[in-house]
């Protein structure tokens, strides 16, 4: 794989040339700080991928994508700690498999056509398309309440102290949605182009000089890079662990525990804690949590821990029978204790390393996985996969125990279901 960077005043293009795939992948990322109006950007990105001045409806966009050999184009908004990343993503067939000589220029041109020429008239986005997206987001917001995992995670995060970005919802609430109008979206669009940091990532078996030229020709972004990304959120520790129990209409009971991780070094953040989490509950079926709760005690179908690196948080989530909550919590505590005491065998450590390396390698087998790693390499200096693999191999038991001691409980949230003891 050949990595290359093309620097332009207002954006950089990062390319990965490889002959491993039949498809290519392009991502245009815009970045700003998370704030209380982040949901507007989510709406904007959704709307901008649905229509433009040239392609006035989603139907026309999809027809065009089908003509472009079933290219795929969508928008996605992600929260990375303090940063809101709004991305426009295009995947397309390698031009070698098409008969159209202008294919590359045409397919790469599409996202920039959509970004540079949105369907705006008199400083307002088109109302028909606006309403379609509004209805869709409206139902998406409502649908959160139909999913036990999403409800319980949202509720647990809402109990974090203060006005932290970690609890900001990028989709917003129904009340937030009512504040969005075709006019406010036009303002958000201007903000996206004028104030957001922008970078472009491309992977495929392509002539990257040619790709960079096409992009430079099609993309007249005015922002000159002067700002830097801010990523990490420092969450405030509560005076004592918050214990919350709420009732729900679901059958199962969901348990979400949130832990603060303080004082990690750069290497610990990048490698050691990822690995700790893998061993603890984030990895496969041999994690501490899985073994203790499912295999040894049959309490749940699954249990996982999630390292929210940019929020400096660790989250443990599982679904159990109501009567088993106490026992589940006690076993989770035991799992933490065993990690702090380094109670895992050399075999477990080596197996987890091999598994972790496997998961890193697996990401190298699809274009989106490679791009995702590259994005974080650029934004946060995350070592490239090849280097991370070397670093994982060197992790010691002592290093894991050290990070284990930096995990502090903050919130224990239970969303209690109706089922009890019928298993």
Helical spans, DSSP H, in 17-169: 38-50, 58-67, 103-116, 127-144, 148-157
What does the block give as tokens for 175?
Answer: 């009340």
Q: Select 78 or 419, whichever has its Cβ closest to other proteins.
A: 419
CA distance 105 to 55: 17
Among 78, 159, 169, 355, binds other proteins (CB under 8 A): 355
The tokens 């179908």 sit on which residue? 301
CB of 340 to other proteins, least distance (A): 22
Stretch that binds other proteins, among 104-112, 117-125, 352-360, 397-405 (CB under 8 A): 352-360
CA distance 284 to 306: 13
Assess 142 for contact with other proteins (CB under 8 A). yes
CB of 105 to other proteins, least distance (A): 18
Q: What is the CA radius of gyration of the chain?
A: 23
Assess 251 for contact with other proteins (CB under 8 A). yes
Assess 93 for contact with other proteins (CB under 8 A). yes
Could you tell me if 204 and 75 are in contact, meaning their C-beta atoms sit under 8 angstroms apart?
A: no
DSSP 8-class letter at 309:
G
Assess 415 for contact with other proteins (CB under 8 A). no
CB of 37 to other proteins, least distance (A): 23
Stretch that binds other proteins, among 31-39, 129-137, 307-315, 395-403 (CB under 8 A): 129-137
CA distance 186 to 178: 16
| Count of chain residues binding other proteins (CB under 8 A) | 67
CB of 369 to other proteins, least distance (A): 11
The tokens 């502090």 sit on which residue? 408
Q: Select 312 or 319, whichever has its Cβ closest to other proteins.
A: 319
> In the beta sheet, which residues pair with residue 317?
256, 304
- Give the pairing of strands 253-261 and 300-308: unpaired
> In the beta sheet, which residues pair with residue 90?
26, 73
Assess 108 for contact with other proteins (CB under 8 A). no
Assess 194 for contact with other proteins (CB under 8 A). no
Kindly write out the interface string for residues 3-22 of this chain, putting x where it contacts other proteins by CB under 8 A and - elsewhere: ----------------xxxx
CA distance 185 to 123: 9
- Give the pairing of strands 242-247 and 407-416: parallel
Stretch that binds other proteins, among 35-43, 160-168, 189-197, 356-364 (CB under 8 A): 356-364
Q: Select 9 or 284, whichever has its Cβ closest to other proteins.
A: 284
What does the block give as tokens for 220?
Answer: 């007249």
Cα-Cα end-to-end distance for the chain = 52
Q: Select 158 or 286, whichever has its Cβ closest to other proteins.
A: 286
Among 4, 36, 66, 262, binds other proteins (CB under 8 A): 66
CA distance 324 to 420: 9
The binding site for other proteins (CB under 8 A) comprises 19-23, 57-59, 62-63, 65-67, 69-70, 93, 97-98, 128, 131-132, 135-136, 138-139, 142-143, 145-148, 249-252, 284-286, 294-295, 298-301, 319-321, 347-348, 350-355, 357-359, 361-362, 364-366, 417, 419, 422-423
């Amino acid at each position: 794989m050949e990595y290359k960077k093309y620097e332009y005043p207002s954006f950089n293009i990062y390319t990965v040339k490889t002959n491993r795939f039949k498809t290519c992948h392009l991502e245009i990322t815009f970045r700003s700080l998370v704030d209380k109006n982040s949901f507007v950007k989510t709406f904007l990105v959704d709307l901008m991928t649905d229509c433009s001045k040239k392609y006035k409806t989603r139907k026309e966009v999809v027809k065009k994508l089908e003509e472009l050999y079933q290219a795929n184009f969508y928008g996605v908004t992600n929260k990375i700690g303090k940063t809101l990343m709004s991305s426009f993503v295009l995947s397309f067939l390698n031009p070698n498999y098409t008969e159209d000589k202008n294919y590359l220029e045409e397919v790469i041109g599409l996202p920039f056509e959509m970004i540079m020429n949105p369907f705006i008239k008199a400083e307002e986005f088109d109302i028909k398309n606006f309403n379609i997206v509004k209805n869709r987001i409206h139902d998406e917001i409502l649908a959160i309440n139909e999913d036990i995992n999403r409800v319980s995670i949202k509720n647990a995060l809402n109990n974090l102290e203060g006005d932290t970005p970690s609890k900001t919802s990028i989709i917003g609430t129904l009340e937030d949605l009512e504040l969005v109008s075709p006019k406010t979206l036009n303002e958000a669009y201007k903000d996206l182009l004028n104030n957001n940091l922008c970078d472009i990532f491309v992977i495929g078996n392509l002539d990257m000089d040619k790709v960079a030229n096409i992009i430079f020709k099609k993309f007249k972004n005015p922002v000159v890079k002067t700002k830097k990304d801010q990523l990490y959120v420092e969450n405030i520790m509560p005076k004592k662990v918050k214990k919350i129990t709420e009732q729900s209409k679901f059958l199962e009971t969901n348990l979400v525990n949130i832990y603060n991780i303080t004082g990690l070094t750069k290497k610990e953040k990048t490698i050691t804690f990822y690995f700790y989490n893998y061993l603890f509950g984030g990895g496969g079926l041999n994690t501490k949590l899985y073994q203790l709760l499912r295999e040894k005690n049959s309490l749940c179908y699954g249990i996982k821990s999630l390292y929210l690196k940019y929020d400096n948080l660790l989250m443990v989530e599982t679904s159990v029978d109501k009567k088993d909550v106490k026992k589940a919590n006690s076993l989770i505590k035991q799992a933490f204790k065993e990690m702090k005491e380094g109670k895992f065998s050399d075999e477990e450590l080596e197996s987890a390393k091999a598994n972790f390396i496997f998961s890193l390698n697996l990401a190298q087998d699809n274009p989106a996985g490679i791009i995702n790693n590259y994005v974080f390499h650029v934004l946060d200096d995350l070592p490239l996969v090849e280097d991370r693999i070397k670093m994982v191999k060197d992790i010691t038991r002592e290093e894991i125990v050290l990070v284990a001691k930096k995990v502090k409980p903050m919130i224990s949230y239970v969303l209690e279901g109706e089922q009890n003891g019928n298993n």
